[in-house]
Structure 1
Amino acid sequence: MSTFDQILPALSEVLHAQAENLKRLGPIVVNRDLNGRVRLVIDESVRDGAEARVALDAIAEALAERLGPHGFPVDRMVLFESDVPALAQGAPHFQLEGIDGVTVVDRLATDTDWAAIAPVALGAPRIVFFSIKGGVGRSTGLAVAAWSLAQAGKRVLVLDLDLESPGLSSSLLPEERRPIYGIADWLVEDLVDNCAAVFESMVATSDLSHDGEIYVVPAHGRDPGEYVAKLGRVWMSKVGADGVREPWSKRLHRLLADLEQRWQPDVILIDSRAGIDEVASACITDLGAHGVLLFAIDGEQTWSGYRILFRHWHRAGVARDIRERLQLVGAMIPDVDGIEYFDGLREAAWDAFAEELYDEVPAGEPTGERFSFDEADEGAPHYPWPIRWHRGFAALRSIHSRFQRIDPDEVTAIFGSLVDGVHAIAEGEGERHV
């Protein structure tokens, strides 16, 4: 029985077998609808061509047979449109691997589009802190990086985009310094063109700043108010007076641009929601990140999740657009048997990167210009920046008070690789993989 996961392999098999017929049809869009059912969309000019219709009928029959419940009956398998390329606009789409001229358009119930990788943004470097699973010290690492950058005189803008599990602001701001509003307030007010009412009151300056500044934009203000009700609306698209629909991720991009223009940071640190969801997609693919730090602990859940994501980028043909920005961070390296643990983490990371993101290098050939690295290459994106587990940094609630009496040597011992790497990206030295 055919299932969703067999749709693309079935399409490839059928269309490869119909290669000669495809040449008579011109560009083709494969529309996979919200229910996961597939049909072909062909240019209107093909409708009346005798040879083309014979070719179409053969393809439609083969697809109907192979796709089963994920296809349409033969007489409904093909649609004709006057502007086929326009069907892909505003929707996730990718080229069907190995077949020229065939574009798959995915109709999703959300605006998530992990396959649309925005170019690196102009202006201040943007660094995203991401993890497949929560509880790996991601927010703590970001707080330490922000503190270190400010110690070096940088103006640091920090965004807490873990909207469903907020808390980063508590590590950088005491309660009395938290702003009135947060990101959720802006996103909701923007829907009714009232975002200016909260904009100036959604940023607070951390008292941990010394030579530089840390500007913190929390998920919510000091009084969350009806946060659950707001959270149910932040993901909404906005329809302007001209009828143009603006996805929530584009609204978020607009907010970030406005924040950057207003506060003129040297570097922007973004705490992403863990997991493969709406917020993470926006943070990693839509905001023009210069660096994406992938926090990981060695375990099956970690590598299963990252492989799913890497494989999606590979299949969608966008791995080249994102892989140079990625960097693995080895979170919570244990004190006991730490060397053995780190070696296992590095090996698992290399396996995942090599299989889905690195270029294949035939045996006996030099790497050359290929994007590929040896397992032990310390400059490779799979080679973990280690963070040692430390009891004093394990509880996020204690971080702010801990920073008041922090020992810089201790920070170097625990977070040294992360801090050095973030500083390199902030200084424009982070594109070492290109």
Structure 2
Amino acid sequence: MTTFDQILPITTEVLRAHSDTLARLEWLIINRDLNTRVRFIAPERAREEEGLPEAVEVMYQALAKRLAPHAYAERGVLYEASQEQARQGACGYAVNGFDQVRVIDRLATEANWARIAPETKGTPRVVFFSIKGGVGRSTALAATAWSLAQAGKRVMVLDLDLESPGLSSALLPSERQPMYGITDWLVEDLLDNGVAVFDSMVATSNLSHDGEIHVVPAHGAAHGEYIAKLGRVWMPTIRADGTRETWSSRLARLLQALEARIQPDVVLIDSRSGMDEIASACITDLGANLILLFALEGAQTWKGYRMLFEQWQRAHVAEDIRERLRIVGAIVPELDRVTYLEGLRESAYGIFSETLYDEIAPADPTTIGPTAGSDTKWRVGDLVEGWNFDEADEGAPHYPWAVNWHRSFAGLRSLQGRLSVIDAQEVQSIFGPLLGGVSDVSELRSA
């Protein structure tokens, strides 16, 4: 019996064996439906070419025989006028070695890690993400907002950890909580009623100091029927013209409206941990300029990040996102910090070099002389380097920005209370590298 993970390797073999038929097709979609069964979707015009429909059917039957039960016994080949109609809004990626063949996955959720929005050109957006929970991500975000405000920055914070909200309580005392939150807007927007809550979903933190911290919580002061609302935030909207707007597109629209109103210098986004719809939207759909990947040294952390990086590699989108990534060494222990960070860096480098960094290959020995547009003279035996870094390169994405464990932040009953009395020197000693990196990104707005 064939399993799901064998679908693509087997499909590639079958396509290669029927390259003559494939060459006659303008495009071909490998459609994997919700039940993991595979169909071909081919151009409608192919049905008019003599012998081509029969050849496509033969190719599909050869695939179906090997993929069972992940294939259809009947109607395994469908035809559409265009790829856009065939996709129905779903994203896909090219099959290695076949430029005109794309895989389309029909998923039960809106999460789509294969679609990477370009970096925003306006206010810098920084996403705080962790593959596992309990790594101090939200605490680090709160401290970062505090530090940026100390420096006079106008900061906007979004609590998008909707299934485990709480960041707003770290930055806002109870009396400052706004009436509504992000979940309220997403629910009301389904009926084009977002305006009813928009003006009452932002509050200014009492920790603002010289700058300002504007907090957009997951829910309002009176959370109401939060569970019932949460089950609806992922819904798409259908416009009057019949077009469909995904929940992540709605979220992006909300973010743009909030930026237009608040005019922040930087936006800090607290993402849900793991690989669900929220994390997908935060990392791939909101045009983040910097994506902080919080990591503990251990197999669970690196296995999760490897799965994510391999998906980007498989979907040919790694180059669209890799330069925005940065590993954050979370909760670095007091004892043997140097040794711990060296191990963390080594593990991170192994994952990045195997999935996101370009391989270093020897130059073509027949090519001697300057490269196009360059005065550099290449000699036989020189190395051609792509996007790659040494393990010890402090500017590399895999090189961890350390967040040190500190007893004053362990087992806190009130992060809000702790931040109200903390001093800049103590914050720097715990979060220094992280604060410096985010501060550099926040300067992009004025650059």
Q: Normalising TM by the smaller chain, what interval?
A: over 0.9
Given that 1:24 and 1:55 are in contact with CA atoms closer than 8 Å, whether structure 2 keeps it comes out as no
The answer on 1:117 being equivalent to 2:113 is no
Q: Does 1:382 align with 2:398?
A: yes
CA contact (8 A) 1:140 1:396 kept: no
Query: Identity of paired residues, percent?
Result: 60
CA displacement at 1:88 relative to structure 2: 2.5
Distance 1:319 1:425 in 2: 21
Q: Secondary structure at the match of 1:70?
A: coil
In the TM superposition, 1:262-341 aligns within 5 A as 262-341=261-340
- Structure 2 gaps of 5+ residues are 364-380
User: In the TM superposition, what is the alpha-carbon distance from 1:47 to its structure 2 partner?
Assistant: 1.7
Is 1:59 the counterpart of 2:59? The answer is: yes
Distance 2:395 2:60 in 1: 49
Does the residue aligned with 1:115 lie in a helix, a strand or coil? coil
Aligned counterpart for 1:411 among listed residues 403, 410, 427 = 427
Q: For 2:408, which of 363, 387, 392 is the aligned residue?
A: 392
RMSD: 1.8
Mean Cα deviation higher: 77-86 or 361-370: 361-370
Letter aligned with residue 72 of structure 2: F
Measured in 2, the distance between the counterparts of 1:177 and 1:372 equals 47
Who is 2:32 aligned against?
Answer: 32
295-304 vs 53-62, greater mean Cα deviation: 53-62
CA distance in 1, matches of 2:314, 2:150: 42
Q: Name the structure 2 match of 1:128.
A: 127
Structure 1 residues 237 and 170 mapped into 2: Cα distance closer, same or farther (>3 Å)? same
Deviation at 1:52, TM superposition (A): 2.2
SS in structure 2 of the partner of residue 42 of structure 1: strand
Asked if the contact 1:131–1:296 (Cα under 8 Å) also holds between the matched residues in 2, the reply is yes
CA displacement 1:11-69 (0-9 Å, x = unmatched): 11111222222112221111111111111111122224334245323312220111111
Alpha carbons 1:203, 1:215 under 8 Å: kept: yes
Q: Which amino acid aligns with 1:335?
A: E
Matches within 5 A, 1:341-356: 341-356=340-355
SS of the residue corresponding to residue 104 of structure 1 reads strand
Aligned-partner SS, 1:56: helix
1:2 corresponds to: 2
CA drift of 1:273 comes to 0.3
Are residue 259 (structure 1) and residue 258 (structure 2) matched? Answer: yes
Q: Which moved more, 1:104-113 or 1:362-371?
A: 362-371
Amino acid at match of 1:13: E
- State the SS of the aligned residue for 2:421: coil
- State the alpha-carbon separation in 2 of the partners of residues 391 and 200 from structure 1: 39
What secondary structure, in the 3-state scheme, does the structure 2 residue paired with 1:234 have?
Answer: coil
- CA-CA distance at 1:239 after TM superposition: 1.7
Distance 1:271 1:254 in 2: 17
Amino acid at match of 2:70: H
| Residues 83-139 of structure 1: per-residue CA shift (max 9 Å, x gap) | 234323510211112212101111111211111100111211000000001110000
CA distance in 2, matches of 1:366, 1:337: 40
- CA displacement 1:159-205 (0-9 Å, x = unmatched): 00000000101111111111111111111111122211111111000
Alignment partners' CA distance in 1, 2:327 and 2:279: 16
Matched with 1:69 is 69
TM-score, normalization by structure 2: 0.93
Within 2, Cα distance between the matches of 1:398 and 1:368? Answer: 53
The whole-number CA distance in structure 2 between the counterparts of 1:233 and 1:367 is: 54
Which range moves more in the overlay, 234-243 or 141-150? 234-243
> How far did residue 308 of structure 1 move?
0.7
Contact 2:362 2:383 in 1 (8 A): no
Contact residue 112 and residue 278 of structure 1 kept, 8 A: yes
Q: What is residue 213 of structure 1 aligned with on the other side?
A: 212
State how far apart, in whole Å, the 2-side matches of 1:361 and 1:86 are.
40
Higher deviation after alignment, 185-194 or 81-90? 81-90
1:22 alignment counterpart:
22
Q: Which residue of 2 aligns with 1:96?
A: 95
Matched position secondary structure for 2:253: helix
Is residue 2:174 matched to residue 1:175? yes
Residues 206 and 215, structure 1, Cα contact 8 Å, conserved in 2: yes
Could you say what secondary structure the match of 1:69 adopts? coil
Give, in angstroms, the shift of residue 242 of structure 1.
2.9
The residue matched to 2:103 in structure 1 has which SS? Answer: strand
Q: Which moved more, 1:281-290 or 1:238-247?
A: 238-247
Give the ranges of 4+ consecutive aligned residues of structure 1 lying more than 6 Å apart after TM superposition.
363-367
Match for 1:6: what amino acid? Q
**In the alignment, is residue 234 of structure 1 matched against residue 233 of structure 2?**
yes
| Partner in structure 1 of residue 370 of structure 2 | none
CA shift at 1:229, angstroms?
0.8
Could you state the TM-score of these two structures normalised by the residue count of structure 1?
0.95
Q: Which AA in structure 2 matches 1:81?
A: E
CA distance in 1, matches of 2:421, 2:43: 68
